[in-house]
Amino acid sequence: MQRRGRFITLEGGEGVGKSTNLALVADHLEARGLEVVRTREPGGTPRAEAIRKLLLDPAADEPLDDDAELLLVFAARAQHLARVVRPALERGAWVVCDRFTDATFAYQGGGRGIDTARIAELEAFVQRGLTPDLTLLLDMPMAAAQRRLEGRLDRDGGQRDRFERERAEFFDAVRRAYLERADEAPERVYVVNADQPLDAVQDELKSLLDGCLEAWA
Ligand code: Z5A
């Protein structure tokens, strides 16, 4: 019987290095002969990417209701799970995903203040027991992460998406909620200090991955 693949997620606030390190994680696994699917949330399929656009669109003429935001995140997730994540895991591929449901607890729970019990209900409904095998939480103070993004904002003409327009308190609440998630699930979530040179972050990630590969063999 085909062995199910593993599901690895990268989490953290904006600019902590999720995209950069997703490439490292996926390359490291591929170098060991594994089939790896690289994906992201919200998004990962054409329809889920269309929902992502709606979520990030800063159009000020119609503010997005917090509950509508939460439901859109889970609608995109349902589509992504059905079309990409479950089929890949079932055929034995490993899935490496930039953000997943911990982001919902952090942004919609911590940031927007939505009751986490309601988020957990949607998590159970949409995921039907599927959770990541490993989550790499890249953690660092928001101000330092934002400095990394300044160059990109200049390049994009200063255009900020709906989340990037939030205030510092929002991002502090997001970070606290992420760290609470890590405390609640220490067997799954590894907190990595992202506020160090990239080489040091990547050495830590590689040794974490090697430990997991050995434990899962
Ligand atoms: N969202 C939500 O609300 N609810 C949900 O359930 C989900 C998402 C799933 C889009 O996410 C938004 O969706 C997100 C929350 C919401 N909004 N916010 N904020 P996203 O993942 O696409 O957006 P993002 O977090 O803003 O991604 P990002 O800005 O691309 O950041 P990143 O991927 O973490 O960083 P990076 O691009 O890899 O690195 C940023 C720069 O830093 C880059 O120039 C790197 O070369 C540099 N870098 C990386 N690491 C280092 C180190 N160690 N030292 C120095 N420089 C570094």
pLDDT (tens digit, 9 = 90+) per residue, 181-201?
A: 999 999 999 999 999 999 999
148 touches ligand 1 (CB under 6 Å): yes
- pLDDT exceeds cutoff 80 at 158: no
Supply 200's token pair: 């040091």
CB neighbours of residue 97 within 10 Å: 24
For residue 98, the ligand 1 atom closest to its alpha carbon is: 21
> Residue 119 corresponds to which tokens in the numbers above?
């988020």
CA 137, 143, 146, 151 dihedral sign is negative
Average of per-residue pLDDT across 20-26: 98
Contact 135, 189 (CB under 8 A): yes
Q: Per the annotation, where are the binding residues?
A: 12-19
Q: Among 9, 10, 20, which is best to mutate for testing ligand 1, by the most ligand atoms less than 8 A from CB?
A: 20
d(CA 101, CA 73): 9
Cα distance between residue 100 and residue 112, in whole Å: 17
Q: What does the DSSP 8-state code read for residue 13? A: S
pLDDT at 66 over 70: yes
Q: Provide the 10 A C-beta neighbour count for residue 128.
A: 9
User: Could you give the percent of the chain with pLDDT greater than 90?
Assistant: 86
Q: CA geometry: angle at 119 spanning 208 and 128, to 5°?
A: 70
- Nearest to 6, CA basis, from 191, 101, 130: 130
> How far, in Å, from the CA of 2 to the mean position of ligand 1?
34
* CA distances (Å), origin 128, targets 21, 42, 81, 121, 125: 28, 18, 11, 10, 6
**58 three-class SS:** coil
- Write the pLDDT tens digit of every residue in 84-142: 999 999 999 999 999 999 999 999 999 999 999 999 999 999 999 999 999 999 999 99
Among 125, 51, 36, residue whose Cα is nearest residue 84: 36
pLDDT of residue 149: 84
CB 100 within 8 A of CB 132: yes
Closest by CA position to 14, among listed 210, 188, 172, 129: 172
Residue with the smallest CA separation from ligand 1 atom 26 is 14
pTM of the entire predicted model: 0.97
What CATH number labels 7-216? Answer: 3.40.50.300
Q: Where are the domains of the chain?
A: 7-216
> Side chain identity at 94, as an amino acid letter?
W
> Which positions make up the binding site for ATP?
12-19
pLDDT, residue 27, reads 98
Reported confidence tier of residue 156, pLDDT bands at 50, 70, 90: low
